[in-house]
Chains A and B, each alone.
Chain A
C-alpha cells in the first residue's frame, strides 16, 4: 500500500517539477527585445548583441533552447555566470551550505519554540496565557523580519554599545564563531514560521483533545502529562509536519533579506545580487535548485506523513 501511495505521489511530483522548470526557463525569455541591448550597454557582458544572444542561448528556436537547457541541467551543467565567469554549479556549491545551515537552524528554532507554546496554549485554551500566546503569534506573523533585524543591529548599540557582528567568518578560520554567527539571523528568520507552527499545533491539538479516545484516557485516570504528550500530541503534530514544506519556501524567501542584512554570502544574497546585475544564468540556476529542493522536501514530507499516519495511504 505504501508503495502504491509512493508511486502516486511521485507521478504528481514529476509534472510539478516539469512545469516549474518551464517557469524557470521562461522567465528570462520574457525579456523585451531591447533588454539584451541594455544589458550589453550596462555591463558589457559580451562583444556585441549577437554574441550575448548566443551566450544566453537566445539565438535558437525556443523548444530547442528548452531541451538543450534541460539536457545540460541533467548533466549538472547550469551554465556560466555572466558576472563572475565561473560556472553556476561552482558558485552554488560555495553558497548552498551557508543557506542550508541558516535555513535548517531557523526551522529548528521555530519548531523548538512553537510546539511547546502551542501545546500550552491548547491545554489552557481560553485562559489569559492562551490569549497572550495567540496574540504574540499574530504579532510574529505581522512583524517584518527586516525590521527586527534592523532593530537588533540598531538598539543594542545605543543601549549597551554592542552590535552584532556583520560579515562572514570562514569555518576553517574559527569554527565556533562560524556557527555562532548564524544563531541570531536564524532566530529572526524563524519567527514567522514559529508563529505559523504554533497556531497549527494549537488548533490540531484542540481537535485531538476533543476526541473519544482522549476522553477514555482521562477516564482511566491518567495524568495530564501522559494524556496530552503521549496520547494527543503524537496525533496532533502529524498535520504540522505537512506545513514544514510551505515553511521551507517561506524561510528561503527570508534568507534573501536576512543574508543581505547580516552580510552572509549564501544563496539568498547571491540571488539578489544576480537580479540586480541581470545575471540570468545564475537566476535560472538558483531558481531551479530552490524549486527542486522544495518539491523534493514536499515529497519527503508527504511520505513521512503517510508513514506517521496510516489513514493517509488508504484515502
Chain B
C-alpha cells in the first residue's frame, strides 16, 4: 500500500502543469532547461517586433533629416543620438532590422529548400550521382564565402534580390552537406526498408518517411544559418555591395561617409554594430540550445544531468 502512495506521489509533479496548453508547457520547460537559449529566442523576438512594427516603434522615418540635430549624443529625444546627416540613429536601427530579417529569413527558406532537394536526393539515389554532387559541394565550399558572394554580386549587380540569391546559393551548399549526412542516417532505419518492401514508391518514402525525420536537423541548421546570413549580409552592406541606400542596413550604417565622423560621434558606430551582434548572438544561442534539446544523438551525452 505504501508503495502505491509513493508511486502516485512520484507522478504528481508532472501532472500539476496539466492546465497549460502543450506548446506553452514545452516552451516553459525549454526556458527552464536552457536559459541562454531562451535569451537568444527573446532577442530574436525583439528583432522581429522591431522589423514588423518599425513605423510605430521608430520615432522618425529612416531617412528624415531633423533640422538642428546634427550628431547629437544619445538622450531623451534621440535614444541613440543622431548621425552626420541629422538622422535619428534609433529609428534607423529599428528600420535596419527589416533588411536583416528579410534577407535572413528569405535566404534561409530558399537555401533550405534547395539543400533539402540536393541533400536528400544525393543521399537517397547515391552512387555516381551522389559522388558527383558531393564533389561540386566540396569545390563550392572550398571558396572563402566572401569571395564567392563578392564575385557573384559583381556579376549580378547590387540589390536585395541578388543579395538573397547569392547568399542562398552559398548557404545551400553547406546545408546540403549536413542534410545529406542526416538523411543517410535516417535511411539506415528498418522502417525505410519495410516501407520499400511493402511496395511504397520512392517519392512517397522520401516525403513521408525520410523528410519528416530530418525536421530537427533542418531546424537546427536553419537557426544557426540565420545568424550566419545576417552576419554575411551586414559584411556585404559594410563593403557597399549589399542593399543600396537610402534603405538602412546595420552593416551599411557602419560604413561609407559616416566613418570620418565616428570619432566625434561614436554612437554612430556603437549601436548598429551592437544590433548586428545581438541578432547573431540570439540565433547562435537559440541554435545551440535547440541542438541540445532536439538532436537525439546528442541528447544525454552532454555533461551534467539533463533535468
Seen from chain A, the residues whose Cβ lies within 8 Å of a Cβ on chain B are 12, 15-17, 19-20, 22-23, 27-28, 30-31, 125-126, 135, 138-139, 141-144, 146-147, 150-151, 153-155, 157-158, 163, 206, 249-250, 252-254, 256-257, 260, 271-272, 275, 278, 283, 286-287, 290-291, 294-295, 298
Contact = CB atoms under 8 A, between A and B. Distances in A.
A142 B280 contact: yes
- The number of chain B residues touching the other chain, given as a range, is 35 or more
Interface string B123-161: 000000000000110111111111100111111000000
B281 A294 contact: no
A283 B251 contact: no
Interface of B: 36, 135-136, 138-147, 150-155, 227, 231, 234-235, 238-239, 241, 251, 254-255, 259, 262-263, 266, 269-270, 273, 276-278, 280-281, 284-285, 288, 303-304
Contact of B284 (A22, A138, A272): A138
Given A146-B254, A256-B146, A151 B263 contact: no
Nearest to A155: B266
A146 B235 contact: yes
Given A144-B276, A147-B254, A150-B259, A253 B146 contact: yes
A249 B145 contact: yes
Contacts of B269: 147, 150-151, 154
A295 B142 contact: yes
B303 A206 contact: yes
B4 to A, nearest CB: 37
Nearest to B285: A138
Nearest to A195: B284
A147 B277 contact: yes
Contacts of B239: 256-257, 260, 272
Contacts of A163: 263
Q: Taking chain A's interface residues, is the majority helix, strand, or loop, or is none over half, making it mixed?
A: helix
A144 B151 contact: no
Nearest to B151: A27
A247 to B, nearest CB: 11
A108 B141 CA distance: 23
A27 B144 contact: no
Given A23-B143, A253-B147, A283-B151, A15 B235 contact: no
A28 B150 CA distance: 12
Contacts of B147: 252-253, 256, 271, 286-287, 290
Contacts of B150: 256, 271-272, 275
Given A154-B262, A253-B145, A23 B139 contact: yes
B142 A142 contact: no
Contact of A19 (B136, B235, B276): B136
A301 to B, nearest CB: 12
A190 to B, nearest CB: 15
Contacts of A23: 139-140, 143
A295 B141 CA distance: 10
Contacts of A125: 303-304
21 contacts: A12-B138, A16-B138, A16-B139, A19-B139, A27-B155, A28-B155, A141-B284, A143-B276, A144-B251, A144-B276, A146-B235, A147-B273, A150-B259, A150-B273, A154-B263, A254-B146, A256-B146, A257-B235, A275-B151, A283-B151, A290-B147
A295 B273 CA distance: 33
Nearest to B281: A142
Among A19, A147, A155, A256, which residue has the most Cβ atoms of chain B within 10 A? A147
Given A125-B303, A150-B273, A144 B142 contact: no
Contact of A144 (B139, B145, B234): B234
Nearest to B302: A206
Contacts of A126: 303-304
Given A138-B288, A155-B266, A290 B143 contact: yes
Contacts of A286: 147
A213 to B, nearest CB: 19
A279 B151 CA distance: 11
A252 B144 contact: yes
B135 A15 contact: yes
A151 B154 contact: no
Contact of B277 (A20, A143, A206, A249): A143
Contacts of A287: 143, 147, 151
Contacts of B146: 252-254, 256-257
Nearest to B240: A276
Nearest to B272: A147
Contact of B143 (A20, A142, A157): A20
7 interchain residue pairs of minimum CB distance: A147-B273, A253-B146, A19-B139, A142-B281, A142-B280, A253-B144, A252-B144
Contact of A20 (B139, B154, B280, B303): B139
